[in-house]
Amino acid sequence: MDTELAPIQFAYGPSEAEILNNGHTVQVNLAAGNQIMLNGRTFHLKQFHFHTPSENTVNGKFFAMEAHLVHADADGNLAVIGVMFNKGDANPVIASLWAQMPKKAGAHKKLEATVDPMTLLPAAKDHYRFNGSLTTPPCSEGVFWLVMKNALPVSSAQADAFTALMHGPNNRPVQPINARPILE
């Protein structure tokens, strides 16, 4: 549904972080300080993680990989930014993370350098917006989804390395739209 969406206001910057392999994804937990403003509400960035292939599609198209930047407001409401990755050139941010990615489920370590979540976003911040659910159990409803329209590159080797570490795809199947409008 075409509409005028208010832009997402980003307040991201370099942050200390920890990378962990929780057995179903590689997750980066960030120190406090990064946030977005959405419809007058502040959501704090808690972590980001990855899925191969993508969990969202655009016009029925899957992407090689998807990052989810997970935010929560003071009341526990969630806003997730989805960023798609097309196969192409190697991604320097992914390269840095994969070089430190724990190979064993349950392992974690502090990242050697700060990570700036802005480097995981495309230059143009146009996005789709819809209400949905978490994509991992308990798949709770009430999540504000903001899926970026523009994709970033990831090399085949980078996507394949992640899929191999997860012992195969780690995406939730695409769910029916049902009565959810997708705003753009």
Q: What is the reported pLDDT for 183? A: 67
Crossing angle of the two packed helices 156-165 and 92-100, in degrees rounded to 10: 30
Query: Active-site residue numbers?
Result: 24
Contact 65, 159 (CB under 8 A): yes
- Which class in CATH covers the domain with range 9-165? alpha beta
> Is it the case that residue 158 has pLDDT exceeding 70?
yes
pLDDT of the residue at 14: 97
pLDDT of 179 reads 58
Question: Does the pLDDT of residue 181 top 70, yes or no?
Answer: no
- Residue 172 has what pLDDT? 85
| Kind plus residue range of the DSSP H or E element containing 161 | helix 156-165
Q: Is the pLDDT of residue 3 over 70?
A: no
Q: How far apart are the C-alpha atoms of 47 and 72, rounded to whole Å?
A: 10
What was the pLDDT predicted at 42? 98
Per-residue pLDDT at 1 exceeds 90: no
Kindly calculate the radius of gyration of the chain based on its CA atoms and give it in whole angstroms: 16
pLDDT for 66: 98
pLDDT digits (tens, 9 = 90+) for 30-64: 999 999 999 899 999 999 999 999 999 988 899 99
Give the CA distances from residue 64 to residues 14, 37, 61, in Å, rounded to whole numbers and listed in that order.
26, 29, 10
In the 8-state DSSP scheme, what is residue 116?
-
Percentage of the chain beyond pLDDT 70 is: 92
Q: Which position has the higher pLDDT, 7 or 160? A: 160
Q: How confident is the model at residue 6 (pLDDT cuts 50, 70, 90)?
A: confident
What average pLDDT is seen over the chain? 92
pLDDT at 88: 97
Range in 26-30, 43-47, 133-137, 163-167 the model is least confident about:
133-137
Q: What pTM does this model have?
A: 0.93
